[in-house]
Amino acid sequence: MAGSAIGLGNIWRFPYVAGEYGGAAFIIVYLLACAFIALPIFFAETVIGRRGGADTFGSMKKLAPGSGWHRIGLLTILVPIIILSYYSVVGGWSVHYLIRSFGSGADDAVGHFGPFISSVKLPIIAHTVFIALVAIIVLAGVKKGIEKFTKITMPILFVLILAIVVFSVTLPGSGKGVEYLVNPDFSKLSADGIAAALGQAFFSLSLGVGTVLTYASYMRKQDDILFSGVGTAVSDFLFAMLAGFAVMPAVFAAGISPEAGPGLVFETLPYIFAKMGGGLVWLSTGLSLVFFATVLFAALTSAISLLEVGVAYLVEEKKMHRRTAVFSLVLFVWVVGILCSLSFGPLSNVTIFGDSIFDTLDKACANWLMPLGGLLFTLFVGWRMPSADVLDEFSNGGTKPLNRKIYPAVRFLIRYLAPAGIVAIILSAIFN
Ligand code: PHE
């Protein structure tokens, strides 16, 4: 689950969204949204998934037979696949930059990103490579593919990002970046910013799209839901902050605006690496390799979880062969991904409410559809499932005293605070 949570959301999305909404103030709201809204939803999804023991459709049918609740499943098939479509484009960027680590100079580092993403062939090839890697891992299965890959890469990720943080905060001029992350400026925080913080919490914790639910259906009965949720949320937040401290100081040291948007990470770091190598090509190349390998691995462990949701559905509900399921979904992702990729170039004049295809899909998923899914999950667990069943699942049949003790608080969050919080934030963003 941590593998799913920690991904491009932390390294690529978090720094630039935080940058767009004013840094530290955004982070505080984001932290609150994680603790009081996202975490309860995480618990709700885990309870449904482990108790239902199947994909979203199957679990809902088992827990609420004869009702219409299983239709949430529709949301959890469509949204992850759409997210994966643009996720894979950014994953492709990291493949490209990983390869570009060899032999690129400081001069064209910042200038490279724009022409690259607006070109046609290269980003599409990179997107194709990325989604093919995802398909290979998911084809290998849940245990031998997903679990094995994730267990090996996650610890490595933390070591790599720590190394980059140390490097980044020691750059001349990096102090402003650190300040930006810890000194809140609340005047920059709008209703939109609060909605974006909520969206970032959902995106980063993989919530509201059935990913957590599907992974929970593979959990053992003796696993601790409280521990899994808190463990995932804490490591996810930690990693986002580490990524922030890796990227922001470098952004300021390079004299780039933190509001540079989706290109932030890709523009800044190659420049820094090239500069810091001080003419030593092996050093620049090494730093760049380490960083983009981190980005790529983090992206892969999340992308496989996005694909697995739909695969689990097709295999379990439609009795499809795992291979057929993977191939048909990947084909869809590949085509939509191409449109997303082209929206930075030839299709950049196609806009929906002023946003490109890429931005529209990202905002629609993170700021609207994921919170909607989360809302439905909390309503289901809070109001439809018998409280005794929820407690039974949350405390492993009453064998976890701590879980039993805090259950009333968790129940309050699931029933009232989380749904009310989501509705309030969405409404305020609409009326803004
Ligand atoms: N949480 C992942 C990230 O931060 C993205 C993701 C969203 C994965 C939804 C699964 C489901 O990169």
In which residue are the tokens 């932390």 written?
10
Ligand 1: which residue has its CA nearest to atom 11? 206
Cα of 239 from ligand 1 centre, angstroms: 13
Averaged pLDDT score across all residues of the chain: 90
Statement: residue 107 has pLDDT above 60 = no
Cα of 380 from ligand 1 centre, angstroms: 22
Residue 105, pLDDT score: 58
For 131, half-sphere exposure in the C-beta direction (CA atoms, 13 angstrom radius) is 29
Cα of 9 from ligand 1 centre, angstroms: 6
Copy the structure tokens of residue 183: 């000194």
Q: Does ligand 1 have an atom closer than 6 angstroms to the CB of 9?
A: yes
Contact 57, 314 (CB under 8 A): no
For 223, half-sphere exposure in the C-beta direction (CA atoms, 13 angstrom radius) is 17
- Mutate which of 211, 242, 294 for ligand 1? The one with the most ligand atoms within 8 Å of its CB, which is 211
- Mutate which of 153, 302, 362 for ligand 1? The one with the most ligand atoms within 8 Å of its CB, which is 302
Ligand 1: which residue has its CA nearest to atom 7? 206
- The helix-helix angle for 418-431 and 39-52 (nearest 10°) equals 120
Range 83-99 average pLDDT: 95
User: If pLDDT is split at 50, 70 and 90, which confidence band does 108 have?
Assistant: low
Q: Does ligand 1 have an atom closer than 6 angstroms to the CB of 83?
A: yes
Range 52-67 average pLDDT: 93
Statement: residue 408 has pLDDT above 60 = yes
Range 345-349 average pLDDT: 90
User: If pLDDT is split at 50, 70 and 90, which confidence band does 143 have?
Assistant: confident
Residue 241, pLDDT score: 93
Q: pLDDT tens across 151-169, in order?
A: 888 788 888 888 888 888 8
Least-confidence region, from 169-173, 198-202, 313-317, 397-401: 169-173
Q: Does ligand 1 have an atom closer than 6 angstroms to the CB of 209?
A: yes
| Backbone CA torsion sign across 112, 132, 370, 40 | negative
Range 349-362 average pLDDT: 89
Radius of gyration for the alpha carbons in the chain, expressed in angstroms and rounded = 21
Q: Does ligand 1 have an atom closer than 6 angstroms to the CB of 214?
A: no
DSSP code string of 60-101: HHHHSTTSSGGGHHHHHHHHHHHHHHHHHHHHHHHHHHHHHT
Q: Does ligand 1 have an atom closer than 6 angstroms to the CB of 274?
A: no
Residue 109, pLDDT score: 65
Range 79-103 average pLDDT: 93
Statement: residue 111 has pLDDT above 80 = no
Statement: residue 381 has pLDDT above 90 = yes
Copy the structure tokens of residue 155: 């610890």
Contact 395, 216 (CB under 8 A): no
Contact 276, 284 (CB under 8 A): yes
Range 369-394 average pLDDT: 95
Range 52-60 average pLDDT: 93
Residue 153, pLDDT score: 80
Q: Tell me 190's DSSP state.
A: -
Cα of 77 from ligand 1 centre, angstroms: 14
Provide the phi-psi class of 429: left if phi over 0, else alpha when psi is between -120 and 50, else beta.
Answer: alpha
Q: Does ligand 1 have an atom closer than 6 angstroms to the CB of 239?
A: no
Statement: residue 425 has pLDDT above 90 = no
Residue 104, pLDDT score: 61
In DSSP terms, 136 is beta-bridged to none
Contact 309, 183 (CB under 8 A): no
What's the one-letter identity of residue 217? S
Residue 79, pLDDT score: 95
Least-confidence region, from 45-59, 174-188, 398-412: 174-188
Residue 263, pLDDT score: 82
- The helix-helix angle for 121-139 and 281-316 (nearest 10°) equals 60
Q: Over the range 154-179, which residues count as b (16 or more CB within 10 Å of their CB) and which as e?
A: beebeebbeebbebbbebeebebbbe
- As to burial, measured by CB atoms within 10 angstroms (0-12 exposed, 13-18 middle, 19+ buried), residue 25 is buried
Provide the phi-psi class of 210: left if phi over 0, else alpha when psi is between -120 and 50, else beta.
Answer: left
DSSP code string of 122-161: HHHHHHHHHHHHHHHHHHT-IIIIIIHHHHHHHHHHHHHH
Q: Does ligand 1 have an atom closer than 6 angstroms to the CB of 80?
A: yes
Of all residues in the chain, the percent with pLDDT exceeding 90 is 59
Range 388-404 average pLDDT: 95
Q: Does ligand 1 have an atom closer than 6 angstroms to the CB of 7?
A: yes
In DSSP terms, 326 is beta-bridged to none
Range 284-294 average pLDDT: 84
Cα of 81 from ligand 1 centre, angstroms: 11
- Mutate which of 161, 203, 205, 265 for ligand 1? The one with the most ligand atoms within 8 Å of its CB, which is 203
Statement: residue 189 has pLDDT above 80 = yes
Cα of 6 from ligand 1 centre, angstroms: 7
Give the whole-angstrom CA distance, residue 66 versus residue 148: 38
Of all residues in the chain, the percent with pLDDT exceeding 70 is 97
Give the whole-angstrom CA distance, residue 357 versus residue 363: 10
* Atom from ligand 1 closest to the CA of residue 370: 9
Statement: residue 134 has pLDDT above 90 = yes
Provide the phi-psi class of 396: left if phi over 0, else alpha when psi is between -120 and 50, else beta.
Answer: left
Q: Does ligand 1 have an atom closer than 6 angstroms to the CB of 419?
A: no
Cα of 431 from ligand 1 centre, angstroms: 28
Statement: residue 374 has pLDDT above 80 = yes
Residue 21, pLDDT score: 87
Enclosing H/E stretch for 226: helix 225-253
What's the one-letter identity of residue 167? F
The set of residues, in sequence order, having a beta carbon less than 8 Å from that of 30 and lying 6+ positions away, is: 18, 197, 200, 201
Contact 134, 301 (CB under 8 A): no
Give the whole-angstrom CA distance, residue 163 versus residue 291: 9
Residue 106, pLDDT score: 52
Ligand 1: which residue has its CA nearest to atom 10? 206
Cα of 302 from ligand 1 centre, angstroms: 5
